[in-house]
Chains A and B, each alone.
Chain A
Amino acid sequence: MRALLFQDPDSDPTAVRAAAKWASATLALSFLCLLALAAFASLEYNWNWSAVFKYKTKFIEGWLLTIQVSSVSLLVACIIGGLSALSARSRFLPLRYLFKIYVEGTRGTPLLVQILLIFYVFADAAHLENRYVVGVLVLSFFSGAYVSEIFRAGIESIGSSQLLSAKAIGFTPYQTFRYIIFPQALRRSLPALAGQFANLIKDSSLLSIIAIEEFTLNAQEVNTSTLSTFESFFPLAVGYLILTLPIFHLSRRLEKRLAFDS
């Protein structure tokens, strides 16, 4: 019994026996479920799953749209982040500062503010009427600032001795980037990039305020129609977890592989 709940003091702190892992995780999860059940019991809430169940296609459609919006945004964010990270090394200083201001400004303001500002001011001025396009753009710009920092850290992690060596060999600056910096920086960026994708999925929920019919907005609509708040939002939480948990897991595995390699 003791072996299931406590780690063997002599073993490596990261290594836990599978049985102990399962038993302890189940125990922790049960405790949390009990706590939640107790809270709901004290509410004397009347569950009405059947009303919400009728709207299952709405949940699925919203969930799929969230995946689409997040995926496209990640792709665009990688392009923006890549350009931004590269511009930090540009010899043309105004470009360097342009992206520096972008990164600092974006990281320093709430996504909600950015969504409202871009949707009601910039998109309107540019006659961008498709709210999905605007939504993807806002998310991409927001996430691009973080991706930029991830890439920058990856690029800066390449040791100066390698750069000196590349120079001694006669590589041009482009060749040094192409063959030496880029492959290693990308590999080192992957764990953080996966984590950023999970954040992006959660952040996309804020697009509901500009009436993009993603997962969160659809759940809100079901709530309005059925007046079954918890039954509407419980699937919402589960839906996000189905997406984010595997990604966080992937991120951690990439991290371990990287640590093992280097």
Chain B
Amino acid sequence: MKLALENLSKSYGQHQALDGLDLHLENARCLTLIGPSGGGKSTTLRLVAGLEKASGGHILLNDKAVPCSEEELRDYRKSIGVVFQSYNLFPHFDALTNIALPLEKVHGVAKADAQERAYELLARFKLADHSRKKPSELSGGQNQRVAIARSLAHDPELILFDEPTSALDPEMSAQILDVIEELIQSGKDCIVVTHQMGFAKRASDYAAFISHGKVAESGTSKDLFDSPQSQELRQFLERELKY
């Protein structure tokens, strides 16, 4: 992907979540956003997802500007997949319907085809036996895999992960991170907000350290993790890796 975030700002009332954030990537497969809580990582992700509008600045994804009007934004969102921290599946639908319904209603796929595609994806993530179960009958890790399958179903050009393992225990986190790494290797473009530094270092080619609403430091993940330039990033990494 080619991504340009130019002088991006976002405020919620008095609170300035992003304050002139800049980031330019020419050809990235996976970008991880790291940084302290409240620093602006998730806000950045939401703006790229088209879920919220920036108060100022521009976002260019593969040379196309993220639109401003609600109708164009809705079309834009259809080309993106988003995976949330708490899965955000629809509790009244089973796993299969959670994936197939958006395909059918948003992307105009015929019902039978949508269900077949959903089933294929569930099978790929080893959930074939659980296709008729509702989210309340599945474990956190299983739900997150359903959510990933849902975000993949319409073959989006970019998938965004907002702290996808924060609600999971280490065992399940590892499973989910394996799945995401597989996706990256299969050629999907991703942006991942994460606190899993090991994953960020290993799976992503670029990383940005976001703090106080700005990109404090960015570069290839190898550079960023192996030779952090700023005192702030060094301290952050030390703390994150301590336990």
Number of A-B contacts (CB under 8 A): 51
Known: A168-B77, A170-B107. 11 other contacts (CB 8 A): A162-B91, A164-B84, A165-B90, A168-B51, A168-B84, A169-B102, A169-B106, A170-B78, A171-B106, A175-B106, A261-B136
Judge if B86 is at the interface, Cβ distance under 8 Å.
Answer: yes
| Distance in angstroms between the alpha carbons of A167 and B73 in the assembled complex | 10
| A170 pairs with B102, CB closer than 8 A | yes
Query: Contacts A183-B92, A184-B91 hold; do A168 and B136 have CB atoms under 8 A apart?
Result: no
Tell me, in angstroms, the Cα distance from A179 to B93 when the chains sit together: 10
What are the nearest 9 A-B pairs in CB distance?
Answer: A165-B88, A170-B78, A168-B82, A170-B106, A169-B102, A170-B77, A161-B88, A184-B92, A183-B92
- B124 within 8 Å of A by Cβ? no
Neighbouring A residues of B92 by C-beta, 8 Å: 183-184, 187
Whole-angstrom distance between the alpha carbons of A262 and B137 in the complex? 10
Contact B88 A171 (CB under 8 A): no
Query: Count of chain A residues with Cβ under 8 Å from any Cβ of B?
Result: 19
CB-defined contacts of B49 to chain A, threshold 8 Å: 168
In the complex, are the beta carbons of A262 and B82 less than 8 A apart?
no
The answer on a CB contact under 8 Å between B90 and A161 is no
Chain A residues positioned under 8 Å from B90 (CB to CB) = 162, 165-166, 179-180
What are 18 pairs between A and B in contact, CB < 8 Å? Answer: A161-B86, A162-B90, A164-B51, A164-B88, A165-B89, A165-B90, A168-B51, A168-B80, A168-B82, A168-B84, A169-B77, A170-B102, A170-B107, A175-B105, A179-B101, A180-B90, A184-B92, A261-B136
Cα(A162)–Cα(B75), bound, Å: 19
Whether a CB of chain B sits under 8 angstroms from the CB of A50 is no
A57 at interface, CB cutoff 8 A: no
Instruction: Decide: B74 and A172 in contact? CB cutoff 8 A.
Output: yes
Q: Tell me which residues across on chain B come within 8 A of A161, comparing CB atoms.
A: 84, 86, 88
- Assuming A168-B49, A168-B77, is B105 touching A179 (CB within 8 A)? yes
Interface residues of A (CB under 8 A from B): 161-162, 164-172, 175, 179-180, 183-184, 187, 261-262
The interface of chain B, by Cβ under 8 A from chain A, is 49, 51, 74-75, 77-78, 80, 82, 84, 86, 88-92, 101-102, 105-107, 136, 150
Chain B residues near A171: list those with CB within 8 A.
Answer: 102, 105-106
What residue in chain A is nearest B50 (Cβ atoms)? A168
Chain B residues whose C-beta falls within 8 Å of the C-beta of A180 in the assembled complex = 90
Instruction: Tell me which residues across on chain B come within 8 A of A165, comparing CB atoms.
Output: 82, 84, 88-90
User: A178: nearest residue on chain B (CB-CB)?
Assistant: B105
Per the bound structure, the CA–CA distance linking A187 and B106 in Å amounts to 24
Docked complex Cα distance between A172 and B108 (Å): 13
B51→A170 contact, CB < 8 A: no
Q: In the complex, what's the smallest C-beta–C-beta distance from B10 to chain A, in angstroms?
A: 16
A187 to B78, CA, bound (A): 29
Listed residue (A168, A180, A261) with the most chain B CB atoms within 10 angstroms of its CB: A168
A166 to chain B, nearest CB (A): 8
Specify which chain A residues have a CB less than 8 angstroms from the CB of B77 in the assembled complex: 167-170
Question: Residues of B contacting A167 with CB < 8 Å?
Answer: 51, 77
Q: Which residue of A lies closest to B106 (CB)?
A: A170
Closest to A161 in B: B88
A77 → chain B, closest Cβ, in Å? 25
